[in-house]
Structure 1
Amino acid sequence: MNEFPILSSLLDNDFYKFTMQNAVIKLFPLVKAKYKFINRGKHSFPKNFSNSLKENLDKMAHLKLSKKERFFLEKNCPYLDTAYLDFLNKYQYNPKEVNISQKGKDIQIHIEGLWYRTILWEVPLMAIISELYYQLTGANRISNKKIILLTKKKLNKYKKLNIKIGEYGTRRRYSYQIHKLVLKFLKKEGSSSFIGSSNVHLSHILSIKPIGTHGHEWIMFHAAKYGYNIADKIAMKNWLNIYGKNLGIALSDTYTTPIFFKNFDQKLANIFEGIRHDSGDPISFTEETIKHYKKFKINPLQKKIIFSDNLNPYKVANISSFCKNKITPFFCIGTNFTNDVGPTSMNIVIKMVKAIPKKKWISVVKLSNVKEKSTGDKKMIFYAKKILQIP
């Protein structure tokens, strides 16, 4: 295995992890959380994989925010206040929060601790798992030259569609080096089409805009604390309390889209600049979104939909064609940019599974528009569906 750590920066993470961390510190500093690794793709891990993973996690404990990184955040993310940046200056990963074990070809990972601390583990841990997997299984990839040619071909298609695209591919990238290679090219050749990257570290070193808002765990926690029916609404209101009209994209599918729209009232629909689509049929979702805005006499062309669900050029072309002259689409592309290099990309996730919103652990669940993307305790999923009257 490479003696150098896979991660070399505290900011090698998705932007929305930092924005959520800031919000958690402000509103829920005493809450504890548990996360679990889910091997959706049933990947077989090689012998001693867990040991290599632990070695990389131990090295992460030495990562600290540099002065240049802090200046980058101050300049590009003014809504992250001084108090939070002071906290981040002192933050260090604690590998003791992560328990890793291996039995045969299966690995198990559990994360536990204060939510504001453990929230940063998910994305870099997945990136390390993915890169280590390809290293230790000896996966052969195409050459850097072919990767650039493939990226160029995709980018040219997006340019012809005259759309805006971003990069969301940290968590399942083939490697850090390929991620950097692709992003360099997107920055150089993307012109007005390329809007930024979710990876804060690479955004810093390549002078790219970091993009993103919040993830499903923000709403999952609110459901555990306030109930499923109003989780979306309170999560959005709390987000507005922290960020105002900054970072104004609402996430639509934590408890299915119909439940989201029940919570997305006229005031919220006006304040938020758009909605992120992350599961289910994108065309049906677009129709429902347009219908919802029109119900409140809001011009859909003044709003955005951020599409981020397993995108490729074919899907993007279909969606953008449907959205034309109806609503403004943006496309944030992940694995198809950072792990389209030959070997099958990994299908893995790390999800929050429990939280302590009051005095005891409560199982948290996500009810996606697609059954396979739902996560959490089966009994609690059944209970949530019953409350929300979801078949």
Structure 2
Amino acid sequence: MDNSFFISSLLDNDFYKFAMQNAVIKLFPLVKAKYEFINRGKHFFPKNFSNVLEKKINNMINLKLSYKEKIFLKKSCPCLDNSYIDFLDKYQYNPKEVKIEQKGKFIKIIIEGLWSKIILWEVPLMSTISELYYKLTGTKRLSDKIITISTKKKIKKYKELKVKVGEFGTRRRYSYHVHKLIMKILMKEGKSLFAGSSNVHLSKTFSMKPIGTIGHEWVMFHAAKYGFNSADRIAMENWINIYNNKLGIALSDTYTSKIFFKNFNKKLSNIYEGVRHDSGNPISFINETIKHYKKFKINPNKKKIIFSDNMDPFKVKCISSFCKGKITPLFGIGTNFTNDVGVHPMNIVIKMTEIFIKKKWISVVKLSNSKEKSTGNKKMIFFAKKRLHL
């Protein structure tokens, strides 16, 4: 295997994908789904890119959970029960679930199959696309030495701010090598501030517990099944039914934070440790969150907000300063760690687009607090906005 730009472990994926897969298996094991690649940055792909990508995907059939990885999951991820880890022990990627086409400089990718099986494709597929793109276009990065110096400077700033940061950069990393290098630096230089990585494989490599929250697809599915108005609430309730008070960070922007807070009732506000901000103005969101907690006579200082919307040292400084004495901030740093290497990071996503329930395919959409982050069928987006009075 060419491990220089290849997924070499079944666990080279974000923790929240495994947590969601576990929940899907338990509650919605027979639901079929479709995902699509979205080229937000309108990147031009080189000739034969799809053929090389297909070979990499075909090789992923060989990935199996090792005995040591299984033991790591049992020790470090107690929220994942033994029955799920046994499922993962037998899990195998099926390349037939992924269809790739290339027309000129653009690629089209559709993933289709049982939601419980195909849910793991998104993150490793995106990181492979990103790494392969730089490899095949001959895009050179900064040296390891310069990346190390730059990362150390960021860590120094975060230490001065006395904030906690996590590494969330698997999906759009420049390469696996760079990702591992960043983790080494964080482990060595940033122990006092480093909350962990969302990447399960690298967490195992550096003997850390992986961290993570939840993905938009969980709420998007619930909207298609139960309706847009109650999707956030039912999604949160189902999550709590699986994980009790573990993994208790609520995702706030699938159908805008306005709709989220309507669903985030007193019971859920008390149960959940905090919320994640992933789009829109962070300062407005902080004020909105604090006001919401106070309405239920909940002390905001005992709650958290995880900020994961394109974070960098400047944004972290502004947000942490505003949060001081009001609410506890944590920061999920993605691309600014794993692809701040002197190249233009790719602006790509893979999103769920349809689910098969009630004997038909139903479009799923995400509205977001930022218009450019909304995804899905335009007619369904219009319908969703109408139902939600947005």
Q: TM-score, normalised by structure 1?
A: 0.99
Q: Which moved more, 1:208-217 or 1:104-113?
A: 208-217
Looking at structure 2, the residues matched to 380 and 191 of structure 1 have their Cα atoms a distance apart, in angstroms, of 46
The residue that corresponds to 1:215 in the other structure is 215
Secondary structure of the corresponding residue to residue 62 of structure 2: coil
Looking at structure 2, the residues matched to 91 and 262 of structure 1 have their Cα atoms a distance apart, in angstroms, of 38
Instruction: Specify whether residues 307 and 315 from structure 1 end up closer, same or farther in structure 2 by C-alpha distance, changes over 3 A only.
Output: same
Looking at structure 1, the residues matched to 330 and 107 of structure 2 have their Cα atoms a distance apart, in angstroms, of 36
User: What amino acid is the match of 1:59?
Assistant: N
Looking at structure 2, the residues matched to 358 and 206 of structure 1 have their Cα atoms a distance apart, in angstroms, of 45
Secondary structure of the corresponding residue to residue 267 of structure 2: helix
Unaligned runs of 5+ in 2: none
After superposition, give the CA deviation of every residue in 1:72-131 in whole Å (9 maximum; x if it has no partner): 110011111110000000000000000001010000000000000010000000000000
Looking at structure 1, the residues matched to 3 and 27 of structure 2 have their Cα atoms a distance apart, in angstroms, of 40
Give runs of aligned pairs for residues 104-115 of structure 1, distance below 5 A. Answer: 104-115=104-115
The residue that corresponds to 1:226 in the other structure is 226
8 Å Cα contact 1:195/1:209 also seen in 2: no
The residue that corresponds to 1:34 in the other structure is 34
User: What amino acid is the match of 1:277?
Assistant: H
Secondary structure of the corresponding residue to residue 61 of structure 1: helix
Looking at structure 2, the residues matched to 146 and 161 of structure 1 have their Cα atoms a distance apart, in angstroms, of 23
Unaligned runs of 5+ in 1: none
Instruction: Specify whether residues 337 and 4 from structure 1 end up closer, same or farther in structure 2 by C-alpha distance, changes over 3 A only.
Output: closer
8 Å Cα contact 2:251/2:277 also seen in 1: yes
8 Å Cα contact 1:302/1:327 also seen in 2: yes
Find out whether 1:9 has 2:9 as its counterpart: yes
Looking at structure 2, the residues matched to 34 and 194 of structure 1 have their Cα atoms a distance apart, in angstroms, of 35
The residue that corresponds to 2:116 in the other structure is 116
The residue that corresponds to 2:81 in the other structure is 81
Instruction: Tell me how large the CA RMSD over aligned residues is.
Output: 1.0
Cα drift, residue 3 of structure 1: 7.5
Q: Structure 1: which 4+ aligned runs deviate by more than 2 Å?
A: 1-5
Looking at structure 2, the residues matched to 325 and 155 of structure 1 have their Cα atoms a distance apart, in angstroms, of 23
Looking at structure 1, the residues matched to 189 and 114 of structure 2 have their Cα atoms a distance apart, in angstroms, of 42
After superposition, give the CA deviation of every residue in 1:271-319 in whole Å (9 maximum; x if it has no partner): 0000000000000000000000000000000000000000110000000
8 Å Cα contact 2:5/2:175 also seen in 1: no
8 Å Cα contact 1:222/1:235 also seen in 2: yes
Cα drift, residue 213 of structure 1: 2.1
After superposition, give the CA deviation of every residue in 1:225-284 in whole Å (9 maximum; x if it has no partner): 000000000000000010000000000000000000000000000000000000000000
Looking at structure 2, the residues matched to 178 and 208 of structure 1 have their Cα atoms a distance apart, in angstroms, of 18
Secondary structure of the corresponding residue to residue 247 of structure 1: coil
User: What amino acid is the match of 1:48?
Assistant: N
8 Å Cα contact 2:4/2:177 also seen in 1: no
Looking at structure 2, the residues matched to 69 and 3 of structure 1 have their Cα atoms a distance apart, in angstroms, of 18
Instruction: Specify whether residues 321 and 104 from structure 1 end up closer, same or farther in structure 2 by C-alpha distance, changes over 3 A only.
Output: same
Give runs of aligned pairs for residues 234-245 of structure 1, distance below 5 A. Answer: 234-245=234-245
Give runs of aligned pairs for residues 1-391 of structure 1, distance below 5 A. Answer: 6-390=6-390
Q: TM-score, normalised by structure 2?
A: 0.99
Equivalenced residue count is 390
8 Å Cα contact 1:365/1:376 also seen in 2: yes
8 Å Cα contact 1:5/1:56 also seen in 2: no
User: What amino acid is the match of 2:302?
Assistant: Q
Looking at structure 1, the residues matched to 98 and 328 of structure 2 have their Cα atoms a distance apart, in angstroms, of 41
Q: Which moved more, 1:97-106 or 1:349-358?
A: 349-358
Instruction: Specify whether residues 116 and 276 from structure 1 end up closer, same or farther in structure 2 by C-alpha distance, changes over 3 A only.
Output: same
Secondary structure of the corresponding residue to residue 35 of structure 1: strand
User: What amino acid is the match of 2:372?
Assistant: E
Looking at structure 2, the residues matched to 286 and 239 of structure 1 have their Cα atoms a distance apart, in angstroms, of 24
8 Å Cα contact 1:64/1:92 also seen in 2: yes
Cα drift, residue 358 of structure 1: 2.6
Identity of aligned residues (%): 72
User: What amino acid is the match of 1:35?
Assistant: Y
Looking at structure 1, the residues matched to 123 and 215 of structure 2 have their Cα atoms a distance apart, in angstroms, of 11
Looking at structure 1, the residues matched to 231 and 88 of structure 2 have their Cα atoms a distance apart, in angstroms, of 28
8 Å Cα contact 1:221/1:357 also seen in 2: no
Looking at structure 2, the residues matched to 187 and 303 of structure 1 have their Cα atoms a distance apart, in angstroms, of 26
Cα drift, residue 2 of structure 1: 5.3
Secondary structure of the corresponding residue to residue 120 of structure 1: coil
Cα drift, residue 138 of structure 1: 0.4
Looking at structure 2, the residues matched to 243 and 3 of structure 1 have their Cα atoms a distance apart, in angstroms, of 35
